[in-house]
Amino acid sequence: MSQLALVIDLNKCVGCHACATNCKAWNTAGEFGPLTDKEPYGKQPEGVWFNRVQTYEVGKYPKTEVINFPKSCMHCKNAPCVEVCPTGASYKREEDGIVLVNYADCIGCKYCSWACPYGCREFDEHDGVMKKCVLCVNRIYNENLPEEERKPACVLACPTRARIFGDIDDPESEASRAIREKHGYKLLPEAGADPSTHYLPQRKVKVELDEDELYVKPLAIVTIEKKITSYKEQIFDDFMSP
């Protein structure tokens, strides 16, 4: 038994939406597409996305942090969406734990989306079936692709490598190590779905420089110095933050 999953490092995510757009580009053209849009170039564009990035502000001004929060199907171990499906169109693969929808059997009753506590399923009104993240199952086993590209499209697109893909049941995988070493956690543990996707927390990075260290002036330090003169002991998330 293995359970493939994503581990998303909120400390690295900059909210660029590259994962979401690359996901849509790959999947709308692949076996699980098209991810149809309504008025894509109009005033009120709507459409199906497997992956969405939300942005939250945490804390009170001026001590606030921005959390960019990518959310796609969690491929839960105890998936509540699978057991409620009346046709068996929604199923969890035994070999790798990926939750998929068989479009040919889906009647579009939307019951599975009601049973999902995370809101990770999206109904395609054009095709009349429920669609969701497939963990790029058509990429990760695709022998036509070079070995290093056999990963989900979102993982490949991430410029800050905030997304790790791997088998979380294998204690030696990169994903399991990241969960273990960087305090990975699950969303809504009380919902009882046992999601496989883990998040790594955003960490507070303190920059503490003594006076004499400020005489060394590489480019990065110059920008820090400017801020330090106005806010002593300012907390930074990391150097990428504005």
Minimum gap (Å) between residue 137 Cβ and another protein: 22
- Identify the sign of the CA torsion 179, 160, 16, 75: negative
Q: Is 113 in the site for another protein (CB under 8 A)?
A: yes
* Residue closer to another protein, measured from CB, 170 or 238: 238
Taking the alpha carbons of 194, 195, 196, 197 in that order, is the dihedral positive or negative? negative
Q: Hey, what are 154's tokens?
A: 């979102």
Q: Which is nearer to another protein, 65 or 169 (CB)?
A: 65
Q: Which of residues 22-81 bind another protein (CB under 8 A)?
A: 43-49, 52-60, 66-67, 69, 71
Q: What is the DSSP letter of 204?
A: P
Residues 180-239 that bind another protein (CB under 8 A): 185-191, 199, 201
Is residue 147 involved in binding another protein (CB under 8 A)?
Answer: no
User: In terms of CB distance, is 2 or 91 closer to another protein?
Assistant: 91
Shortest spacing between CB 70 and another protein, in angstroms? 9
Distance CA 133, CA 49 (A): 8
User: Quick one: which of 29, 78, 87, 241 contacts another protein (CB under 8 A)?
Assistant: 87
Among 93, 125, 174, 234, binds another protein (CB under 8 A): 125
**CA–CA distance, 93 with 101 (Å, rounded to integer):** 10
The least distance separating another protein from the CB of residue 157, rounded to whole angstroms, comes to 15
Interface residue with another protein, options 16, 105, 177, 224 (CB under 8 A):
105
Q: Which of 18, 34, 117, 214 binds another protein (CB under 8 A)?
A: 117
Q: Which residue of 29, 78, 93, 110 would you call a contact of another protein, by CB under 8 A?
A: 110
Q: CB–CB of 101/133 below 8 Å?
A: no
Looking from the CA of 38 toward its CB, the CA atoms found within 13 Å total 9
User: CA separation (Å) from 95 to 84, 91, 92, 102, 242?
Assistant: 21, 12, 9, 17, 43
Which is closer to another protein, CB of 105 or CB of 170? 105
The H or E element that residue 99 is part of is strand 99-101
Q: Which residues pair with 199 in a beta bridge?
A: 8, 185
For residue 36, which amino acid is it?
T
Establish if 118 lies at the interface with another protein (CB under 8 A): yes
Which amino acid, one-letter code, is at 108? G
Structural tokens at position 142: 């695709």
Count the site residues for another protein by CB under 8 A: 60
Among 16, 25, 115, 224, binds another protein (CB under 8 A): 115
CB 17 within 8 A of CB 160: no
- Residue ranges binding another protein (CB under 8 A): 17, 20, 43-49, 52-60, 66-67, 69, 71, 83-89, 105-111, 113-119, 122-125, 127-130, 185-191, 199, 201
